[in-house]
Amino acid sequence: MSRKFWVGGNWKMNGTKKEIEGIVDFLKKGPLDPNVEVVVGVPAVYLDYSKGVLPPNVAPAAQNAYKVPKGAFTGETSPAMLVDLGIDWVILGHSERRNVFGEPDSLIAEKVAHALETGLNVVACIGEKLEEREAGQTEAVVYQQTQAIADKIKDWSKVVLAYEPVWAIGTGKTASPQQAQEVHAQLRKWLKEKVSEKVSNELRIVYGGSVTAANCKELAKEADIDGFLVGGASLKPEFVDIINAKQ
């Protein structure tokens, strides 16, 4: 089964118009591998601006969205608003949403389901904390997080699953290619058993956690790693090298 390689950049709470111009400049210079789907997670206030300046082969994504179309939810953004802006992607369940802002599995699953119902493509993030890995709970944690989503959705065709070990995000620590591949392979096996063989074969499972130009090629060689969700490195020209990791 051939799964199209997918690379996402998550700018997080970074960027000004001037800084975004700099990112757009190196993305336009590229060149970017035409066989790779490229998405960048943009702060909400810059989504419309970024959509207007990004090259056509790079799609903007929202970094979050709520579980209903509209209402008295101060500070939130709805999938309907993103669709109205012409945005096709949203990142949900990022470890910072889970662990800094306290979003539980159940809320993330509701957000994923509603975003899909609204027509968005979803990057659904899962991953374990350091203490959970050290306690041998990696699989239990990522299965539980994925099960919450599986309980709410039927169609996985617009989902990219991002495995992001929390202990490797912004720490400089990276899961070895073997460690990452092991979790991805176990997730694919779980999907086959709990969801369907079709979803297991077709769902893109990408890796996030201190991916850099230095380690991306080795990670990209692994059979079950279908791309990356990149944080800090997506703000720098090396993001082009990460996009081209399969070349």
pLDDT in tens, 15-62: 999 999 999 999 999 999 999 999 999 999 999 999 999 999 999 999
Question: For 66-83, what is each residue's pLDDT tens digit?
Answer: 999 999 999 999 999 999
How far CA 2 is from CA of 5, 40, 111, 218, in Å, comes to 9, 23, 28, 19
193 is catalytic: no
Tell me whether residue 163 is in a domain: yes
- Domain with residue 173: its CATH number is 3.20.20.70
Tell me whether residue 1 is in a domain: no
Question: For 92-149, what is each residue's pLDDT tens digit?
Answer: 999 999 999 999 999 999 999 999 999 999 999 999 999 999 999 999 999 999 999 9
Question: For 136-177, what is each residue's pLDDT tens digit?
Answer: 999 999 999 999 999 999 999 999 999 999 988 877 777 899
Asked if 162 contacts 126 with a C-beta cutoff of 8 angstroms, the reply is yes
Q: What is the DSSP letter of 95?
A: H
94 is catalytic: yes
Closest CA to 246 of 35, 9, 27: 35
Range of the domain at 71: 6-243
Asked if 219 contacts 211 with a C-beta cutoff of 8 angstroms, the reply is yes
Which residues are CB-neighbours of 179 under 8 A, at least 6 positions away?
Answer: none
Tell me whether residue 86 is in a domain: yes
Tell me whether residue 46 is in a domain: yes
Q: State residue 170's pLDDT score.
A: 76
Share of the chain above pLDDT 70, in %: 100
Q: State residue 157's pLDDT score.
A: 98
Q: State residue 1's pLDDT score.
A: 57
- Catalytic annotation, pick one of 37, 110, 128, 164: 164
Tell me whether residue 40 is in a domain: yes
> Nearest 5 degrees, angle CA 204-CA 207-CA 199?
20
pLDDT at 63 over 90: yes
**How buried is residue 13: exposed, middle or buried, by Cβ count under 10 Å (0-12/13-18/19+)?**
exposed
Cα 152 to Cα 130: distance, rounded to the nearest angstrom: 28
Q: What is the DSSP letter of 234?
A: G
- Tally the residues of the chain: 247
Question: For 199-230, what is each residue's pLDDT tens digit?
Answer: 999 999 999 988 999 999 999 999 999 999 99
Q: Residue 70 is encoded by which pair of tokens?
A: 């509209």
- Catalytic annotation, pick one of 94, 114, 128, 238: 94
Overall domain count for the chain: 1
